[in-house]
Amino acid sequence: MTGRAVPSNLTGMDPQARALLNRMALDGTASVQGLCPEQARALFSTTRAKYQPPMAEVSSCRTIDLPRSPEGVRVRLYRGLGTDPSLALPALLFLHGGGWMLGDLDTYDAICARIANDAGCCVASLDYRLAPENPFPAALDDARLALQWLHDSARELHIDASRIAIGGDSAGATLATASAICSRDGALPPIISQVLIYPCTDLDMKSDAFAQDWTGAPLTSESMRNYIANYVPNPADRVDWRASPIRALSFAGCPPTLVVSAGIDPLRDDSFALSGRLEAEGSPVTHLHFSDQFHGFLPMWHVLDAADRAMDFIVRSLIDQFGTSGG
């Protein structure tokens, strides 16, 4: 690698991360910017399949239609390798990233399988409706329905209704924390913790991080503006706390939260704003920041040591909340 593929504006990057982005650039990996939704989704899926590790073997993995949901909304259930199929496992509802426009069950198989195996739990990954065909609040409605279903169907699914957590990355983390606030307010069943991986918490897009030049990074401010415009086309809706969770009136009483953030990311400041609100208002929060990593680094643990450490930390956090010994 010559180091010339990644622009010089992206300073302070971990050498492993820079090498990976160089490889992606030299491989001709294109941006989804300017593509129609179908083309963008196909490219996103192809890129994820090429650069992620393969899904690990799990005890069981099955995909079902989410009951009482719109057509096409599915849930994939992973049970950790070696777990008793009749045992009521703790569960994580996982909401994938992709700017509310991209991503599906397949593109997050590796992350979900690793969490299920290493935490000795069940992971329920939701294939929620995507924008622009289904704008806000469709994806959040699906997330809320899935959380309610997990709780109500716990006996049938062999999960422990008293040990359900919620989490997600990027757009999925936005949906997760909005759902957690609904749970805190009694509109959804209680959850024991949330895991938020580089969340987007304010669609206002006026943070210092948004103003930086992220050319060459996997996520740029320009691409975020495009995602937001398609997800919440009405600007008036962007101040709704369900779309911009940082605008919630209070974060008091929220469950223990793990925030994972990256420094090379236009959403960097969103993570710090959220963890700051949680701490200031008395809700337990742990913030794990990787200043030298890029948005989307987490599933690349086969080539990024930082991603492997982040996954270990996420799993340990869940084990502590679930009260299990892990896989």
> Which residues participate in catalysis according to the annotation?
170, 265, 295
3-state secondary structure labels for all residues of 105-153:
CHHHHHHHHHHHHHHCCEEEEEECCCCCCCCCCHHHHHHHHHHHHHHHC
Q: How many CB atoms lie within 10 A of CB 162?
A: 12
**Tokens standing for residue 104:** 């599906």
List phi, psi (to 5°) of 208: -60, -35
Cβ–Cβ under 8 Å, residues 119 and 162: no
First CA to last CA distance, the chain? 38
Separation of alpha carbons 318 and 159, rounded Å: 15
Residue 147 and residue 96: Cα distance in Å, rounded? 14
- Rounded CA separation 256/22 (Å): 37
